[in-house]
Amino acid sequence: MLSMNKDMMDENYFYSIDHRRTTTIKIKRSIFICTLEYVESIEKAKNVISRIAKENKTATHNCWAYILGEKGDIFHCSDAGEPSGTAGKPILNTMQSYNMAHIAAVVTRHFGGVKLGVRGLIDAYGASVKNTIELKKLKKLVQTVSMLIEVSYEFNDTLLNQIKNDLTQIKDTTYTDKIVHTVEIELKNFARVDRLLSEYQSRGKLKFSRIPQADKISV
């Protein structure tokens, strides 16, 4: 199992997960269950938080945080009844330390009868999230632009060789009298690819267009 080490991360990107993950730790009789889920919007983050809280109605606390936005610039957290600053903020800070975005976290606590104190709570909630993040390797979030490229059979190999390092994927290819590719280009490479394709289009080598409604952030 390959966990995510901070040294492996590219600081120019943000990270998330593709599947729900959960871990449980026990600290001085209290049980902390952390659940992480990928979310695309504030509404979906709130739905995740609400669902997990309902699944754990008998828990002492269901504390949470979420991070959204292309640069992780939309975030919120809640102590959910724990002393101020001892739960929501440590959850949020831990996720931010891993450059995470499009992520919601809920840490469910079942109190075991032994008080942990302010420092103990901060450490416990942070450790619970850290363990869950490091359960598996994180997925790099890549903002992509979708394009439609119509190219001749004779020029196809030349084109693909020139843009292969800019592609995140070729989503679809249709063969008729021309070859038509539906491709995804990483946003940071789009300007260069756009210039290249524009040059070839002016020379009659191909035709291309952007598909704005298909632009997305991929994990």
Write out the chain's pLDDT in tens, 219 residues. 345 556 567 787 899 999 999 999 999 999 999 999 999 999 999 999 999 999 999 999 999 999 998 789 999 999 999 999 999 999 999 999 999 999 999 999 999 999 999 999 999 999 999 999 999 999 989 888 999 999 999 999 999 999 999 988 999 999 999 999 999 998 889 999 999 999 999 999 999 999 987 666 766
Whole-number pLDDT of residue 8 = 65
Residue position matching structure tokens 């606590």? 109
For the record, the structure tokens of 94 come out as: 């831990």
Residue position matching structure tokens 């009298």? 177
Domain hosting residue 46, numbered range: 6-137
> Quick one: 43 and 95 in the same domain?
yes
Whole-number pLDDT of residue 112 = 93
Instruction: Report if residue 1 sits inside a domain.
Output: no
Instruction: Report if residue 73 sits inside a domain.
Output: yes
pTM of the predicted protein model: 0.77
CA atoms of 213 and 217, how far apart (whole Å)? 12
Domain end call among 137, 152, 167: 137
> Quick one: 131 and 149 in the same domain?
no
Residue 171 CA from chain centroid, whole number? 20
Decide: helix, strand or coil at residue 208: strand
Instruction: Report if residue 69 sits inside a domain.
Output: yes
> Quick one: 56 and 82 in the same domain?
yes
When divided into structural domains, the chain yields a total of 2
> Quick one: 150 and 122 in the same domain?
no
Whole-number pLDDT of residue 2 = 40
Domain end call among 99, 116, 137: 137
Residue 162 CA from chain centroid, whole number? 29
> Quick one: 17 and 120 in the same domain?
yes
Instruction: Report if residue 165 sits inside a domain.
Output: yes
Phi, psi of 158 (to 5 degrees): -60, -45
